[in-house]
Structure 1
């Protein structure tokens, strides 16, 4: 990894390409190459946008290994290893470390709705099983559980829990974080709709799905002047989110990639490909970006 965790600002939540039901290595390599050329600091593989929940253990291992080999130290490669089972999460985290991941993204346990004591125990077990940097994924939109200040404070003594990924609609919650928690952790947003505001409020960076589509625009967000100015070009790129009409998942991202690069738009159930009407709206949003220099760079 060429970028230390303290310098990690722009990270793409990389989608996993499929063709005829099988993970497509050549398209994965191309996707990784675009991120390297754009100058993003890292990628996360096998998270919700990478459809990690729909991958077998062998497929997850292969995706991580392929990206590490292709990246060759030019950017950081984090693996999403979190599940709602602590033992399984520990095993997957150890496996990611064996393969060579630069760090792991671990979600708050979902579905079982554990009490805070259980969540704290979960993260202590996982972090204690590895020396890798751990980024805690706090996304109540998907887990129905809000970490809250007390829980984050209870984990502050775990040295390798280094960062928090704040999920959709969490800008206000981040803004309310006490100063000591802001200093203790690195803070990343996964909400592309509020990213410029998140950075302007003191966030350190992002783990962005939109970075799949326009990685050059994402990479530019690491420049303080661009972030503090709100970055008009990134805001224009957010027209893709409007075109998606509230749907923001791997299928939408893959539809945009199919239009731009011919990447297969295939997803695995329970996701389904976007309807023709939404694909047309996405195409119009991309066409509106075509005159921007950064759009031409993306297609290079």
Structure 2
């Protein structure tokens, strides 16, 4: 190719430039995909508050817990992290605090999307400036765009950043399904590299074309269906359960015998205790019971009533010892 580049032919010069461009794009695609290839266990972090202010110390401690457990990555400012209730300054503070504390020991992914593309691009560009390792971008909610609009939403965000992007496909929250149609439409976008499949998405994942399964890293966000997702070829797990027992989540990623099944049973017990509710309020209440952390959430979330808190406490008492045993085995 060097000989071609030295020739005087404009046509050959054009071919040379095209070949170089193809090589660069191929290398970029390989590098972006490789950045997520080793990420199998991801905790969606809560955002701790002291009163109504961010509690940076508690957040840093939470990151330390994930590192010690062997979690591969954390997500900040998604629905578990109450990103919808954070100011831009607070979002920056949460992301910066996690990056500083992680020191490269785990990846930090930022949830950056809203139902508007322009705002989502601004949040994504800011996350890149601060040093995020990747982005979690949801299918637009509330605005109810067409399939073409959803695909354009992701394309425009991807063009604005070089960071790897994981699609958050959770129709129970967004009403709109991304699914196979979206994955097919974005298959040529090199930095859209993964999918977080929300609750109730097992059947859709099982039906997914093998080509699309290989094209993306697929993460299960439905704790109850985790064993089945893994059996169908999911790459890993993204769960808020890691705020409570990160060693349990890490054990799933390491393939410990029975870990996924045990994880499912524990999650099912907690969901039964809360009547199916699993959100920042429940997770923070559980963290308060286990570790004495603050239960504070921001509206429209409200704290648990005494009856539900007691139900959660009873389940956690039965789980804490087992989680401690697993932690000892893992460290050993």
Same fold? TM cut 0.5: yes
Query: Are 1:237 and 2:266 counterparts?
Result: yes
Q: TM-score, normalised by structure 2?
A: 0.86
Give the corresponding residue for 1:251.
281
Query: Unaligned stretches of 5+ in structure 1?
Result: none
Deviation digits for residues 259-295 of structure 1 (CA, Å, limit 9, x no counterpart): 0111100000000001111110111111111331536
Q: In structure 1, what is the Cα distance between the partners aligned to 2:61 and 2:270? A: 22
Deviation at 1:150, TM superposition (A): 2.1
Question: How many residues of Structure 1 are paired with residues of Structure 2 in the alignment?
Answer: 295
The answer to whether the 8 Å contact 2:224/2:265 transfers is no
Q: In structure 1, what is the Cα distance between the partners aligned to 2:62 and 2:255? A: 26
Give the corresponding residue for 1:176.
207
RMSD: 1.6
Rg (Cα) greater in structure: 2
Query: Are 1:274 and 2:274 counterparts?
Result: no
The answer to whether the 8 Å contact 2:227/2:261 transfers is no
Q: 2:233 aligned to 202, 227, 231, which one? A: 202
Give the corresponding residue for 2:149.
118
Query: Unaligned stretches of 5+ in structure 2?
Result: 1-33
**Greater helix proportion:** 2
The answer to whether the 8 Å contact 1:200/1:230 transfers is no
SS of the residue corresponding to residue 207 of structure 1 reads strand
Query: Are 1:8 and 2:36 counterparts?
Result: no
Give the corresponding residue for 2:255.
224
The answer to whether the 8 Å contact 2:169/2:179 transfers is no
Deviation digits for residues 28-57 of structure 1 (CA, Å, limit 9, x no counterpart): 011111101000000000000000000000
Q: In structure 2, what is the Cα distance between the partners aligned to 1:243 and 1:43? A: 26
SS of the residue corresponding to residue 253 of structure 2 reads coil
Structure with higher RCO (Cα < 8 A, 6+ apart): 1
Deviation at 1:235, TM superposition (A): 2.8
Q: In structure 2, what is the Cα distance between the partners aligned to 1:74 and 1:21? A: 29
Q: In structure 1, what is the Cα distance between the partners aligned to 2:223 and 2:256? A: 18
SS of the residue corresponding to residue 78 of structure 1 reads strand
Q: TM-score, normalised by structure 1?
A: 0.95
